[in-house]
Amino acid sequence: NFLLTQPHSVSESPGKTVTISCTRSSGSIASNSVQWYQQRPGSSPTTVIYEYFQRPSGVPDRFSGSIDSSSNSASLSISGLQTEDEADYYCQSYDSDSWVFGGGTHLTVL
C-alpha cells in the first residue's frame, strides 16, 4: 500500500492564503482521486474538496484543490483565511479497494 504525507501543522494570518500539501509515497497521485476533509474540534469531518478540485455545494470558493504530478502531491489552498477555518485537514485517496488518509494538518489562523 501507500502513504499520504501532510505537514503536521501550518499557521497563517486572517485574510492570507495557506496551502496544505499531501504527498503520495508510491504510485501516481493522478491514478486515484484525492479528497480533503475538514474537522473542527469536537465535530465530525466534512468534505471541502473531492476528486482533486471539486467543491461540494455549500463550501465557499475560498477553498480550492490542485494536483502536481511532478511532486506526486495534491494540495488544498484556502484564501481569505477566516478564524472559522482553524481546524484539522485530512487528505484521502485509495488504491485496490483500500483507502488511505493522510496524517492530518492542523491549521492555526492567528
Q: By the criterion CB under 8 A, which residues form the site for other proteins?
A: 1, 32-33, 35, 37, 39, 44-47, 50-51, 56, 88, 90, 92, 94, 97-104
**39 Cβ contact partners less than 8 Å away, ≥ 6 residues apart:** 45, 46, 87, 88, 89, 90, 104
- Of 47 and 66, the one with the shorter C-beta distance to other proteins is 47
Nearer to other proteins, 63 or 90 (CB): 90
**Across the strands, what pairs with 12?**
109
| Smallest gap from residue 45 Cβ to other proteins (A) | 6
SS (H, E, C) 4-28: EECCCEEEECCCCCEEEEEEECCCC
Nearest to 90 by CA among 36, 22, 33: 36
Least distance from other proteins to the Cβ atom of residue 65, Å: 12
Min separation Cβ 48 and other proteins, Å: 11
Phi, psi of 104 (to 5 degrees): 95, 145
- Shortest Cβ 60–other proteins spacing (Å): 17
Q: Would you say 1 or 11 has its CB closer to other proteins?
A: 1
In the bound state with other proteins, the residue whose beta carbon lies nearer, of 44 and 70, is 44
